Amino acid sequence: MILKDALKGVGVAMVTPFLDNKQIDFENLKRLTHQLIENNVDYLVLLGTTGETPTLNIEEKNQIIRTVVAANNQRVPIIVGIGGYSTQEVVEHFDCIDFDGVHAILSITPYYNKPSQEGLYQHFKVISDHSPLPIILYTIFSRTNCNLEPETTLKLAQIPNIIGIKEASGNMNQIMYLLKHKPADFLVISGDDAITLPLMAVGMSGLISVVANAYPKEVADMVHYAMEGKFDQARQIHEDILDITQACFKEGSPSGIKAFLSLQNKIQYKMRLPLTPVSESHFDYIKSIFKS
């Protein structure tokens, strides 16, 4: 398997199901893994913000990885999120994670301490020097108040084991500049469900999706049609699920997507603080547009 080719298409930023007592629901995690793969997603992404990773301890993180790796049974690649605002802590984190069956690491820009572009370059260079696996960068200003500028990304793209970026800046000019100037085999992956279709029209490699937790077939079909240049078919699916997509993020993620998953009886509607369910009025709206 050539990893860069295998990571084109749809990855799913998986939720972490919880029980009533807020412990991890491993049975539903296994079921969700099977359902996603059976509906043609291309890879799985664990321990991202969608998985409520800031609320998980190291033991729980490894239990999640082991559960999904076993359920996956080598069918699709698995990416694990490891990032933070202390470069040294990120490096030390590598020694605490069981990477057996994992194919790459997704690493978000530091948050809160707002490093310069030179600081970001040095942060990711050090991480890449110590990483046991290929690195995919992740920029999302709305969560971090820190943007990885395209010039910095292009500089990092020269490091052999930095193989791509999850681009969720929402800045079309930034994204198009990056797509125009990137190395040919450097992955630029959408991190925005709602605008993935136009982004793929200008050359994105695919999508790491939140919505695909509940609607894997629809999202996979849309992205695969776009990859084949069948934009009429892709646009129809995009329009069919647009209200659902927007509802998933209106009051925060993963609160929105977990509401849809609970209506599908795939998980219980439980989160760990500080995250809470969506408002009653928004849940009523979600029920009104819900598709099983």
Catalytically annotated residues: 138, 166
> 254 with 274: CB under 8 angstroms?
no
Q: Is 54 helix (H, G, I), strand (E, B) or coil?
A: helix
User: Strand 206-209 to strand 43-46: parallel, antiparallel, or no bridges (unpaired)?
Assistant: unpaired
- CA 168, 119, 14, 157 dihedral sign is positive
Q: In sequence order, what E strands does the chain have?
A: 9-13, 43-46, 78-81, 104-108, 135-139, 162-167, 187-190, 206-209
Helix 231-240 × helix 242-250 angle, to 10°? 50
Q: Name the residue type at position 16.
A: T
Task: Look up residue 39 and give its two tokens.
Answer: 């509906």
DSSP H stretches of helix in the chain: 3-6, 26-38, 58-72, 87-93, 117-130, 141-144, 150-156, 172-181, 196-201, 216-227, 231-240, 242-250, 255-263, 280-289
> 235 with 270: CB under 8 angstroms?
no
Task: Look up residue 30 and give its two tokens.
Answer: 């296994």
User: Strand 78-81 to strand 43-46: parallel, antiparallel, or no bridges (unpaired)?
Assistant: parallel
